[in-house]
Copies of this chain bind each other. A is one copy, B any other.
Amino acid sequence: MTRKIAIVGVGKIARDQHVPSIAASDDWTLAATVSRSGTVDNIEAFTDIHQMLAARPDIPVVSLCMPPAPRFASAEACLLAGRHVMLEKPPGMTISEVQILAALAADRGLTLFATWHSRMAPGVDAAKAWLADKAILSVRITWHEDVRRWHPNQDWVFEPGGMGVFDPGINALSILTEILPFAVRAMSARLEVPSNRQAPIAARVVFSHDVVLDLDWQQTGAQVWNIEIETDAGKALLSRGGACFEVDGVEVANGEEREYPRLYDRMSRLLSADKSEVDLRPMIHVADAMTLGERVGVEAFHF
Residues of B within 8 A of A149 (CB): none
Is B96's CB under 8 angstroms from A284's CB? yes
Is B100's CB under 8 angstroms from A183's CB? yes
* Shortest Cβ distance from A286 into B: residue: B291
Question: Which of the segments A122-130, A232-240, A292-300 contacts the partner chain?
Answer: A292-300
Is B285's CB under 8 angstroms from A186's CB? no
In the assembled complex, A108 has its CB within 8 A of some CB on chain B: no
Is B292's CB under 8 angstroms from A160's CB? yes
The bracket for how many chain A residues form the interface is 20 to 34
Residues of B within 8 A of A287 (CB): 95, 284, 287-288, 290-291
Complex Cα spacing A291 to B293, Å: 10
In the assembled complex, A198 has its CB within 8 A of some CB on chain B: yes
Complex Cα spacing A99 to B186, Å: 12
Complex Cα spacing A163 to B292, Å: 8
Complex Cα spacing A99 to B285, Å: 12
Residues of B within 8 A of A253 (CB): none
Is A99's CB under 8 angstroms from B183's CB? yes
With A72-B185, A183-B103 known to touch, is A285 a contact of B96 (CB < 8 Å)?
Answer: yes
Q: Which residue, A103, A186, A288, has most C-beta atoms of chain B within 10 A? A: A288
Q: What residues make up the interface of A, taking CB atoms closer than 8 Å to B?
A: 72, 93-97, 99-100, 103, 160-161, 163, 183-186, 188-189, 198, 281, 284-288, 290-295
Q: List 27 A-B contacts (CB under 8 A).
A: A72-B185, A93-B288, A93-B292, A94-B288, A94-B291, A95-B284, A95-B287, A95-B288, A96-B183, A96-B184, A96-B186, A97-B185, A99-B183, A99-B284, A100-B183, A160-B294, A161-B291, A198-B294, A198-B295, A284-B287, A286-B291, A287-B287, A287-B290, A287-B291, A290-B290, A291-B291, A295-B295
9 A-B pairs besides A103-B183, A161-B292, A287-B287 with CB distance below 8 A are A93-B288, A93-B291, A93-B292, A96-B183, A96-B281, A99-B183, A160-B189, A161-B291, A290-B291
